[in-house]
Structure 1
Amino acid sequence: MKTNKFLYIAILAISLVAFGCKKSYLDTTPNDSVTDENLYDNAAGCRSVLDGMARLMSTTGAALSTKGSTAQHDDFGHMSIVLQEDVMSADVVCAANDYDWFGNLYKFQTHRNALYRDAIVAWALYYKLINSANLLLANIDKATGDANELNEIRGEAYAWRAWCYSKLAIYYCKTYSLGLNSPGVPIYTTPTTSTTKGNPRGTVGDVYDRITVDIDSAIALIEGSGITVTNKSYISLATAYGIHAEVSLVMNKWADAEKYSDLAIQTVGGASKLMDSATYRNSGFRDATNSEWMWASQLSASQTDDYGIICFMSFVDASNPSSYAGGGGTFRKIPKYLFDKIKTGDVRKTTFDNARKQRKFYMVDYGTWIYDNLYMRLAEMYLIKAEAQAQQSNIADATTTLETLVKKRNSGYSFATTPYTGGTNLLEEIYLQRRIELFLEGKAFSDMVRLKKPLSRPLGTGNFDLTTCGVAELPANSDEFLFKIPQSEMDNNASLNGSDQNP
C-alpha cells in the first residue's frame, strides 16, 4: 500500500511539473512542482519517481498537457516520437489522409513551424523527464535505505538524463560528426522552476560531453550497486550499456560502440535470447516478457483505458477496425523497393500483408488496448556491434556478428553468398539490415541524419506518391532535417534570441 502511495505521489509530482501553467507548458524551465514532503525520504519513494517517469513515457498528453476532449492525438509519449522518426524517412509509406495526425511530418512540413506541436512534442517530453531526473538527483542524498539500492536509483536517473539529451540532440542539432561547435540545446543539471533563468544553447560538443559524463556515471553506479532490476520499465545495466552504445555510434567512437554493445549482449544473455522465427512473426512486438526486449513500458489496464485510440498501435495496426490505421485508413506500408530487398525465407518478410502493410506490430485484444511499448531490444545491439567492428576494419568479426543476428531471421543467410544488397560492401549491408530489422522502431530518421545520407523516396507504383508524401528528395545534411525550437522557448528563455533559432 505504501509503494502505491509513493507511485501516486510521484506521478502527481511529475504531472504538476509537466502540466502546470499553460503559458509555459513546454519550457525547459517548467513550473514549480508540488511534491509530498516524504517523497525523497527513503528508497521506495525515490524509486517511485522512476516509476512516474516510466509512466510519463506512455501517457496521453505527456508533452502538450492535454487530456480528454482537448487531447492531441499525436501526443502519447515517447512512442509518438518513434512514429515521427519513421514517417520522416524513406522506409515507410503512409496514407497521409485526413485522419493521419502524422501526415504533415510525412510531408516534412510542421516540424519546421516553431508554433506547431510537431516541433514541440520531443522538446517538451524530454525536458520534463530531464527535470524529473534532476529533482531525483538533487534530493536522493537525504533518503534513507540500502546504500546499494540508492546508488542503483541514482544510476538510473543519470541514464535517463543522458538518454533524453541524446534524443534532443537528434532533432534539434546537427549531427555530431558535422562539427562540435554547431548549436546544441540548453543543458540543465539541477532542478528548474518557473523562476529559473533559461540557459543558452551551448554547442553540440557541450551536449555530448554532458551525455558521456552522465552515462558513464550511470554505468558505474549501477554496476557498483550489484542490483539487477527485472521490470523492463526500469533502466537496467544492459539498457545503460545500450544507451552508451547508441551514443557512441553517433559520436563515431567505434571502439566504445563495440565495447558497450557487446556488454549489453552479454548481460542480456547472448544470441540465445534473440527471438526465433515463430515468436518474431506471431508475438514479438507487443509483450515485454519477450527475452529480446531490453527496455519497455509495461502498460497497465488503467493506462490503456486512459488513452484508448491515442496510442502507437492505433496508428500502425491496420487489422484493428477501431484504430486509426484500421478504421481511419492511416496505414503504414513498407515501400516496394525496400520490401523487394528482403530475401524469400526471411521471417521479416512475413510481417507485411499482401499490400505490404505492416503486421509486425499488432494487438490481439482490441477491446482493452493492452500491449507493451518497445524502446530497446537485443537485435539493435548486434547491429551496433557489427557496424562498429566494420568501421574498425574488423571485417571477419563484423561479418560473424551480423550473421549471428540475420541467421535468426533467415537460416540460409550468408553475407558472402546471399547479401541483401547484392554487393560486397559490408557497411551498406549492415545499414540495410538495420532498416529491415528495426522497421517502425524509431531509428530510420536518426540513422539517415547520423550517416549523413540524403532523403531519397522512390516514386511510382508500390513506392511513394508525391501528392501524399510531399517531398521525395532532400540532400544530405539538409536544414530541413532540423526541428525548430518551440516558439514558447524562444519567447520565454532570456538567454535565447532570434539568431539562436534553427535555420
Structure 2
Amino acid sequence: MKYLIKISLFIFAAGLVSCSEDYLETRPSNQLSSEDINNAGQSNPEVLDGYLVGLYNTMYTVGSGGTNLRHDDFGQKSWDIYYDMLGSDMVLAGNTYGWYSYIANYTATVDYTTNSSYMPWRYYYRIIRGANTLIGGYDLNALPQDAESRSKLGQGLAIRGYSYLNLMHLYVNDNGDLSSPAVPLMLEANLDALPLSTTGEVYNQIIADLEVAVDLLENGPRSNKRDINKDVARGILGYAYAAVGRNDKAAAVTKAVIDEGNFPLLTAEELAYDMATASGGGFNDVNTPAWMWGQDVTLEMGLDLVSWWGQVDQYTYSYAWAGDPKTIDNDLYAQISSDDVRKKQFVGLGQKKPTGKFYAPDRVSGGQRSVVTDYIYMRIEEMYLLYAETAAKSGAAGGEAGARQALKDLMEIRVEDASYVDALSGQALLDEIRLQTRIELWGEGKSYWSMKRNQETRTRGANHLFFAGESFQYNDPRLTLDIPQSEIQNNPHLD
C-alpha cells in the first residue's frame, strides 16, 4: 500500500500538481501523456492503480483548487459547503473570520475575479484532465474485457462525468435550457482552449460517460469505499438524468440500486446523537453500512483546521467552534416534526448547530486537532429520495405508489407514525419528498441540486446574517458562479 501511495503521489506531482496556477491555460513540460500512463501500466499495473488513487486523493487535498493559503480550498467538501449555503439551508451564523461569507452573501457569485469562482473551476478541470489522461490510455471503440481494466476505465469515466455534473450545477444558471452555453467540454488530455459547449452537449457526454461506466463496473473489484463502483456510478447517473428531466430513467437507475440491497438504510441510532444514552449519530465513519461512497480520513493525510470538519464541526478545532458556526435555517428546522429523530441532529437555544449529526467521536469542543473523521460523498438515503421524486414525477418504475413506499420506508425509521405518507399524491407528495430531501441531506451538499432541478424558490429564515427573509428563485444569477477571469482572459473563444 505504501508503494502504491508513493506511485500516486509521484504521478500526480508530475502530471497534475506541477501545472501552473492557471491550469487550463498552460501546458507543463513534464505532463505525463495517456500513452505514457498506458505503456507504464502494461509493464507495471500498479502505475495505473496509483494514477487512479491520485484522482481520488485530489478530492480531499488541501489546495487542489489552485491556492496555497486559503482555508476554503480542500477538495470536494469545500464545494459541498458552497452548495448548502447557495441553497440557503446552511446558515453562516458568525462572521468573525470571514470564510464562506462571500458565498453566504452572494458577492462571490457576481464577481468573476474572485478566487471563489476560480477554485472549483480549477479543481474540477484538474480532475477532468487527469481522468482524460487515464481514459486516453484505452480504446473506447474496443472496450477492455478483463475485470481490472474495465474497472479502471469505468472509474475514470465516472469521475469525469461526476466532475462535469458539478461544474454544470455551479456554473450554469438553468440546467433545463439545453441550448444555452455552458462550459468547455474537454475530452482529451491536451490543454487546448475550447469554446463553450451547450448545456445539452455537456449533459449528453455526462450521461454517455456514466452509462458506459455502469456497464464497465459490473462485478468490478472494489478495494474500499473511496472507489466508485457500479452502485455509485448509478447514483451519479440518476442525478444527471434528473437534472435534465429524464425522470423515468432516473427512477429506474436509482430503483436498481435500492433493489439490489447492497446498502441498508441508516438506523435511528445512526441518524442522531442521543443525549440520554450518550450515543448515536456522528456521520464520521466510512464503514457505516449506509454509506455508498466516502473517504477514510487518516492521520497520514495531514488534515486539520483546513478541512470540512474544520469548517463545520463544533468538536473539531474549527471555525465553527471558534466563532463562525454553520447552522440550519430556522424555517427549515421548524418543519422537522417534534417526534422526528433528526430533530436531535440540531442543538442550541438560538442557532441550531449540527452537533447531533456531525461530530468528532470524543465530543470535546474544539478537541479534534488532527482530523481523522471521514468524508461522506454518497449514501443510500439519497437513492430513496431521488427515486421517490423521479418516480412520482414520471410515473415510471412504480410511479406514485413506489414513491410513497420509498418515502415511507425512510420515514418509518425517523418518526413515530409514517402512515401520513399513504394519503399523499400529486403535488403534495412531491412537496413532501423535497422537504425530506432538504432535512435528510442537510450539510451534505445535495439540497442545492434538488432546488435547481425542481425549480424551487426558497426564502431565507430570520437567522441568516445576509438577506434574512428574502426569497431566491432557482435561476437567480446570484446562485451560480461566473466563469473565472483567468479562463476568460486566456481562452480566445471566450472574448
What is the TM-score of this pair, normalised by structure 2?
0.89
- 315, 339, 347: which is aligned to 2:311? 315
Distance (whole Å) between structure 2 residues aligned to residue 298 and residue 364 of structure 1: 15
2:335 paired with 1:338: no
1:305-339 residue CA offsets vs partner (Å, 9 max, x unmatched): 2x31000011111233x211102x11111122211
Distance (whole Å) between structure 2 residues aligned to residue 185 and residue 471 of structure 1: 33
* Greater displacement, 406-415 / 103-112: 406-415
1:284-303 residue CA offsets vs partner (Å, 9 max, x unmatched): 51100001001111122111
**Partner of 1:221 in structure 2?**
216
**Partner of 1:137 in structure 2?**
135
**Partner of 1:82 in structure 2?**
80
Letter in 1 for 2:119: V
8 Å contact kept, 2:461–2:468: no
**Partner of 2:91 in structure 1?**
93
Percent of pairs with identical residues: 28
* Greater displacement, 41-50 / 436-445: 41-50
* Greater displacement, 426-435 / 32-41: 32-41
Shift of 1:96: 4.0
**Partner of 1:383 in structure 2?**
385
Distance (whole Å) between structure 2 residues aligned to residue 21 and residue 258 of structure 1: 40
1:72-127 residue CA offsets vs partner (Å, 9 max, x unmatched): 10000000000111112231221241314111100011132222111112111111
Distance (whole Å) between structure 1 residues aligned to residue 30 and residue 457 of structure 2: 43
8 Å contact kept, 2:25–2:490: no
Distance (whole Å) between structure 2 residues aligned to residue 294 and residue 112 of structure 1: 35
Distance (whole Å) between structure 1 residues aligned to residue 26 and residue 74 of structure 2: 22
SS of the equivalent of 1:426 reads helix
**Partner of 1:40 in structure 2?**
41
Structure-2 change in CA distance of 1:333 and 1:46 (3 Å):
same
**Partner of 2:52 in structure 1?**
50
8 Å contact kept, 1:104–1:110: yes
SS of the equivalent of 1:45 reads helix
Letter in 1 for 2:328: I
**Partner of 1:500 in structure 2?**
none
Distance (whole Å) between structure 1 residues aligned to residue 340 and residue 359 of structure 2: 19
Aligned pairs, how many? 469
Distance (whole Å) between structure 1 residues aligned to residue 282 and residue 25 of structure 2: 36
Letter in 2 for 1:275: L
Distance (whole Å) between structure 1 residues aligned to residue 13 and residue 281 of structure 2: 33
Correspondences of 1:45-444 after superposition (within 5 Å) = 45-66=47-68, 71-140=69-138, 147-177=146-176, 179-192=177-190, 196-223=191-218, 226-269=219-262, 273-281=264-272, 282-303=280-301, 305=302, 307-320=303-316, 322-327=317-322, 329-355=323-349, 356-359=352-355, 360-364=357-361, 366-393=368-395, 394-416=399-421, 425-444=428-447
What stretches of structure 2 of length at least 5 have no aligned partner?
273-279, 363-367
8 Å contact kept, 1:315–1:324: yes
Distance (whole Å) between structure 2 residues aligned to residue 98 and residue 200 of structure 1: 41
Distance (whole Å) between structure 2 residues aligned to residue 24 and residue 308 of structure 1: 27
SS of the equivalent of 1:83 reads helix
8 Å contact kept, 1:94–1:103: yes
1:379-421 residue CA offsets vs partner (Å, 9 max, x unmatched): 00000110111102422221111101111222422234798x9
Distance (whole Å) between structure 2 residues aligned to residue 23 and residue 351 of structure 1: 40
Shift of 1:52: 0.9
8 Å contact kept, 2:164–2:202: yes
CA-atom RMSD, angstroms?
Answer: 2.4
8 Å contact kept, 1:6–1:39: no
SS of the equivalent of 1:319 reads coil
SS of the equivalent of 1:325 reads helix
Structure-2 change in CA distance of 1:21 and 1:242 (3 Å):
closer
8 Å contact kept, 1:108–1:471: no
Structure-2 change in CA distance of 1:397 and 1:134 (3 Å):
same
8 Å contact kept, 2:171–2:182: yes
8 Å contact kept, 2:313–2:320: yes
1:206-237 residue CA offsets vs partner (Å, 9 max, x unmatched): 100111110111111112xx324140110011
8 Å contact kept, 2:407–2:421: no
Distance (whole Å) between structure 2 residues aligned to residue 13 and residue 57 of structure 1: 16
**Partner of 1:452 in structure 2?**
455
Distance (whole Å) between structure 1 residues aligned to residue 28 and residue 415 of structure 2: 52
Letter in 2 for 1:464: H
Structure-2 change in CA distance of 1:257 and 1:219 (3 Å):
same
Distance (whole Å) between structure 2 residues aligned to residue 29 and residue 426 of structure 1: 50
Shift of 1:257: 0.7
**Partner of 2:277 in structure 1?**
none
* Greater displacement, 423-432 / 469-478: 469-478
* Greater displacement, 329-338 / 159-168: 329-338
SS of the equivalent of 1:415 reads helix
SS of the equivalent of 2:184 reads coil
8 Å contact kept, 1:92–1:332: yes
Shift of 1:28: 6.4
Distance (whole Å) between structure 1 residues aligned to residue 196 and residue 427 of structure 2: 42
Shift of 1:485: 0.6
Shift of 1:135: 0.7
8 Å contact kept, 1:29–1:198: no
Distance (whole Å) between structure 2 residues aligned to residue 92 and residue 371 of structure 1: 20
8 Å contact kept, 1:284–1:290: no
